[in-house]
């Protein structure tokens, strides 16, 4: 199977990060969030911002975890492409 397109990579990463955010926080607790994903020349960059004022310290940890989850999802996407 051909390698995933840049669009597929970005979409996979963003969905994984957003999924983790709302797995950890009720949507009503999140005032704002932003997931920025770029994939250029084979380099994935994920930046996650979460504004959950009731638990700001935990929000930073969840943002880091969401970015790592995005990377893992992309790794799995490429591994699946190689297996086919």
**pLDDT range class, residue 84, cuts 50, 70, 90:** confident
Domains of the chain, by residue range, sit at: 6-83
Neighbours of 20 (CB within 10 A): 21
Residue 55 pLDDT: 77
Name the more confident of 38 and 82: 38
pTM recorded for the entire structure? 0.91
Yes or no: say if 70 and 17 are a contact pair by the CB < 8 Å rule: yes
| Helix segments in 1-84, DSSP class H | 6-24, 56-83
Q: SS3 for 3? A: coil
CA distance 29 to 55: 9
pLDDT in tens, 4-62: 999 999 999 999 999 999 999 989 989 999 999 999 999 999 999 999 877 777 999 99
Give the architecture (CATH level 2) of 6-83.
Answer: 2-Layer Sandwich (3.30)
């Amino acid at each position: 199977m051909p390698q995933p397109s840049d669009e597929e990579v970005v979409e996979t990463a963003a969905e994984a990060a957003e999924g983790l955010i709302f797995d950890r926080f009720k949507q009503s607790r999140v005032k704002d969030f932003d997931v920025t994903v770029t994939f250029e020349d084979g380099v994935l960059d994920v930046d996650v911002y979460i504004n959950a004022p009731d638990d700001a310290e935990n929000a930073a940890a969840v943002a880091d975890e969401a970015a790592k989850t995005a990377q893992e999802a992309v790794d799995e996407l490429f591994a699946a492409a190689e297996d086919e």
